[in-house]
Amino acid sequence: MLTRIDHIGIACHDLDTTVEFYRATYGFEVFHTEVNEEQGVREAMLKINETSDGGASYLQLLEPTREDSAVGKWLAKNGEGVHHIAFGTADVDADSEDIRSKGVRVLYDEPRHGSMGSRITFLHPKDCHGVLTELVTSAPVESPEH
């Protein structure tokens, strides 16, 4: 079952400039950065708030590291802006199969590695009213040692 909006992905030409805009304008700070070689992006996760299921909601800023990446191609065609919306789920495998059984195309046969150790898959935008939709199972949160 989908439990929250995990993040909204925003494609940008210059990650550092875009991070500074969100910091200066809204006061959002970078929670995590990484380069995902498989997806060809450099990203920054800006935490917006905690959620009741123990997760959080983020803005994910995405700068392509190569022109032939999915985000690079999208950015060349559409310019900067909202790239996708991601919903959090406790079980990306089960929820993606359930959604697939309803006739929605799931873009990966098996979930892949996502930000901060998560597992992800995407749903085809043509089956989701023009919105590229991501399903995310966050990595387990390590409890502090007592």
**Does the residue 19 lie in any domain?**
yes
Catalytic residue at 39?
no
pLDDT at 146: 44
Counting the structural domains of the chain, the total is 1
What are 105's two structure tokens? Answer: 């195309």
**Does the residue 146 lie in any domain?**
no
DSSP states along 89-138: ES-HHHHHHHHHHTTPPBS-SS-EE-GGG-EEEEE-GGGTTT--EEEEEP
**Does the residue 144 lie in any domain?**
no
Count of CB atoms situated within 10 Å of the CB of 9? 22
Catalytic residue among 39, 60, 63, 83: 60
The CATH number given to whatever domain includes residue 82 is: 3.10.180.10
pLDDT tens-digit profile, the chain (146 residues): 898 999 999 999 999 999 999 999 999 999 999 999 999 999 999 999 887 777 789 999 999 999 999 999 999 999 999 999 999 999 999 999 999 999 999 999 999 999 999 999 999 999 999 999 999 999 886 544 54
Catalytic residue at 129?
no
Catalytic residue at 146?
no
Catalytic residue at 84?
yes
Catalytic residue at 80?
no
**Does the residue 38 lie in any domain?**
yes
